[in-house]
Amino acid sequence: MIEKEIGDELRKRGLSISTAESCTGGLVSHRITNVSGSSDYYKGSVIAYANEVKEKILGVAGRTLREKGAVSAECAVEMAKGVCSLLGSDIGIATTGIAGPTGGTPDKPVGLVYIALATNDYVYHEKHIFHADREGNKCEAADAALEMLKGYLLKRARSSER
């Protein structure tokens, strides 16, 4: 189970994580906390569905929301950085997107999701377009976020072994 692998890596490295979720509505957090003992490394989450929450709680710039939109790489990165700062975690992971079935546009179709991971010295983001129904898009986005986190932790492990 990927959540357990992630937890083992976080615990082994003494790292903490927090999440900022929009389109996944807490599903990433739910998956992380399904692991017994996750309180050793999991700090918490902000489910920031409204732009007002993204801006006032997570510190996403109003300009980012106006010019790039809530569904953008820039917003995802600011959400990930913001939750790290807010909750004092080593790693922040964020999801923002359009789960559907409504809300899509030609430029930003249903299933478009941005996922970002941030630490104090590292930022990475990915763009995905999923093609399932609402629940499927949310599940695929949560899967992708956990895969991103696992990939980061394994990459970090390899670089520390050198």
Indicate if the pLDDT at residue 161 is higher than 70. Answer: no
Residue type, 14: G
Range of the domain at 8: 2-160
Main-chain dihedrals φ then ψ at residue 119, nearest 5 degrees: -130, -175
51: left (phi over 0), alpha (psi -120 to 50) or beta: alpha
The residues, any chain, with a CB within 8 Å of residue 9's CB and separated by 6 or more, are: 15, 150, 153, 154, 157
Q: Give the number of domains in the chain.
A: 1
CATH number, position 45: 3.90.950.20
Q: Report d(CA 95, CA 8) in Å as an integer.
A: 23
pLDDT in tens, 113-152: 999 999 999 999 999 999 999 999 999 999 999 999 999 9
Mean pLDDT of the chain, nearest integer: 96
